[in-house]
Amino acid sequence: MADEEDDDGMGLDEFLDLLDEAQPGEPIRRHGLHQGPQQEGHQPAVGQQGPVRPGPLPGQPRRQGRRPGQGNPPGQGRRRGQGRRPGRQQAVQKSQLKKQRSLDLQSTAFNASGRGRTKDHLFPQHKTGLARAKVRGKGAWKKWTHESIMRCGFSFETATHRQVAAEVDSAGQTHAGQCRFVCALSILQAQEEGMKRLINRSPNWVIKNLMFDESSFDLAESRRMPLVTHSVLLPHAQITAKIGDEVVCHHALREPQVLLPTMNSATMWEALRAGPAGFASDFHPPAARGLQAVLTTCDAHAANSKLLQHAAFMQGPDELLLPCLCTQHRMGNCLERLTKHLGILGGVQLGSLVQQYCVSKTMSKGNILANVRKRVRQILQERLVLHREIPAAAAAQWAEAKADAVKTVALCKDFGEEDEAKSGTIASSFKALLQFFDGPGQD
């Protein structure tokens, strides 16, 4: 029986050989190896599978990698520049450079805006290799930048400390509020140095224009103190000086002064006598004296009148005081008292409203302007002097002006449009202009 089974039986190798003969284009996989080469030009029939991909041997992990046919052929690498369009690399570099420049502009605008509190808050730039600025010194890393200090110092005048601090990254309210005092102190110190340089230049004459007014404000010495009404003096000054052949003009900033214990001529004199362009400030060195004048503009308050009298008494021999009093307050007070005595606008307690009403009613009358014109004509007839000949001192300037007028008329005629309807009017206007320079009183 055993021999019959051996004769009639079929082994595994013989069975696989029979399968290969039945399907010549499909090699049988034996333990992950191909048996028999695939015939050239043979295509699998519909419904049949293609060549079987070799798998891992039993007990080995599955290999992770590219699929067959992907990537470069074995043993062959892509050469430099192979497969790329000509100039592609230059175009990419140019685009990247353009983006870097745009980012640098944005970084520069942000750094100059003052939003970055310290140097650590600033953006680096590509032109410096994205390198941050080195901070040297003890505690220098927490110092504010100049731009951030000026952003807080020159913020809106009615903004609170909280609003000012919100304009700078990670800024504290107290420090942001103190930036205003830092900027103000810097301006006053620079102004003081400029005044010293002006004095050292020994001006020929100096005119100080000082304007001031007093007002009441509710102030507190600190946050914990209650508000108390104080009188505050608000001055402003302007300096005009002649140095050699040059005339310079500067504005002088003066800080407001609180008049303590009360507002009177004495406290106002102490606030106005010193400081830039004050009553007692001298712009001439001791060795070189010159003329000095003070122009003042203020209201006609009783304390101001006493102040100006004291200032005139304190002036030196080379100094001149020219006060200009605003009569609006005095006139308003008189009108207010008059309306109260006469019973006009009864029940009105606001003096400003009474002043505005009375002034507007007075100026609305047409006869007041007629009287002004009549008085002006009378003064011109009495004091106006006409010279039939050109004064000798102005002969050269008059001749130069006439020559410039002739050139101007010629230039207008060359570039003017020819209009027959307006030609006569334009010609007569040019003729009248040239006749004006023939001399006063000449037709």
- What confidence tens digit (pLDDT) does each residue in 347-373 have? 444 455 555 555 565 555 556 667 777
Contacts 24+ apart (CB under 8 A), 182-188: 182/149, 182/153, 183/149, 183/150, 183/153, 183/154, 184/153, 184/255, 187/253, 188/253, 188/255
* pLDDT at 441 (0 to 100): 47
Lowest mean per-residue pLDDT among 5-19, 317-331, 375-389: 5-19
* pLDDT at 15 (0 to 100): 63
* Higher-confidence position of 330 and 52: 330
* Residue at token pair 């992907």: 70
pLDDT at 378 over 80: yes
C-alpha 326: how far from chain center? 36
Structure confidence by residue, pLDDT tens digits, 218-269 = 888 877 888 888 899 989 888 988 888 888 888 888 888 899 888 898 999 9
Structure confidence by residue, pLDDT tens digits, 405-438 = 888 888 887 766 555 555 667 788 888 888 887 7
Lowest mean per-residue pLDDT among 140-144, 148-152, 272-276, 386-390: 386-390
* Higher-confidence position of 213 and 1: 213
Lowest mean per-residue pLDDT among 207-221, 222-236, 324-338: 324-338
Please give the C-alpha separations between residue 267 and each of 96, 233, 297, in angstroms, as whole numbers: 68, 10, 18
Instruction: Please give the average per-residue pLDDT across 399-410, as a whole number.
Output: 85
Q: Which of 216, 315, 325, 214 is nearest to 273 (CA)?
A: 315
Spatial separation of the C-alpha atoms in residues 152 and 165, rounded to whole Å: 7
* pLDDT at 54 (0 to 100): 56
Structure confidence by residue, pLDDT tens digits, 156-179 = 888 888 998 888 988 888 888 889
Please give the C-alpha separations between residue 299 and each of 186, 213, 304, 325, in angstroms, as whole numbers: 32, 7, 7, 5
* Residue at token pair 């100096």: 206
